[in-house]
Amino acid sequence: MQRLLFILTVATTMIACGQGGTRQSTDDTYKSGANASNSSDPAFHSLIGWKKNVPFYVSSDAPDAVVEAAQSAAATWSDAVGQVVLTFAGVSVSTRGNDLYASLDDEATYVYYEPRWTATTSKSVTTLATTVWENANNSEQIVRGDVILNAQTYDFVDAMGNLPRNIDEDRVVDAETVILHEFGHLLGLDHIDEDADSNSIMHAKTFIGPNLSFRTLSDGDTNHIRKLYP
């Protein structure tokens, strides 16, 4: 079954953090043409990004398909840049906490598999995932960030592979497609309108279901990420 669902919104919520910077996230309402930051270029929510290679963990409750997808997605972005920008640091036990930004209180970057999605993010049950990040004080430099997958509603799998016999096809989401998109946000990219780049991984919506995936970057995606990480 094919269903068109929103991944994320283009708008962000900003709140003050204890260190004086700002914490932001993608939301669940799609607004065409809106932008997540005051950046002069709508392709970016940060014009600085990270000032280091970003090591990331995958939470230990995530299935193997998510672990493998995260490594593949990280390699795709690094290959596009021509240098390593995301490094898989391993699978680790971690507790997100009970609100959207709680995971930013530590120094580590995680891909979380969140079965308590609505209770801990306050986002729509139909949203596939969200990325949260923290900027340095008075700067667009990203200093912390995490990806959170909605494991309450969806099963993140290899949608192009052999699926478990008893899986609900309405819950099937290609893990690599979503994580590739979310890593774009983690690195500093914003949503791209389909009219601007019909092949971008950074569209705010995607098809989900068995045998449906989108695991490549457009020329525009590559140009944008190279501009951010020259």
Per-residue pLDDT tens for 148-194? 999 999 999 999 999 988 999 999 999 999 999 999 999 999 999 99
For the chain, the first-to-last Cα distance in angstroms comes to 41
* 113-138 average pLDDT score: 93
Pairwise CA distance, residues 87 & 85, whole Å: 7
**Residue 107 token pair:** 């120094």
Which pLDDT value is given to residue 164? 87
Range picked from 4-13, 27-36, 129-138 for highest mean pLDDT: 129-138
Tally Cβ neighbours within 10 Å of residue 214. 17
Q: Are the C-beta atoms of residues 56 and 90 closer than 8 Å to each other?
A: no
Which pLDDT value is given to residue 22? 63
Which pLDDT value is given to residue 26? 62
3-228 is classed CATH 3.40.390.10:
yes
The pLDDT of residue 9 is above 60 = no
Give percent above pLDDT 90 in the chain. Answer: 73
The pLDDT of residue 218 is above 80 = yes
The pLDDT of residue 19 is above 60 = no
DSSP letters spanning 149-200: EETTT-EEE-TTSPPPTT--GGGEEEHHHHHHHHHHHHHTB----TTT-TT-
pLDDT, averaged across the chain: 85
Q: How many helices (H) and strands (E) does the chain have?
A: 4, 11
Backbone angles phi, psi at 121, to 5 degrees: -115, -20
- Reduced to 3 states (helix: H, G, I; strand: E, B; else coil), residue 70 is helix
Give the strands of the sheet with 54-59, arranged side by side. Answer: 12-16, 22-26, 129-135, 142-150, 109-114, 54-59, 86-92
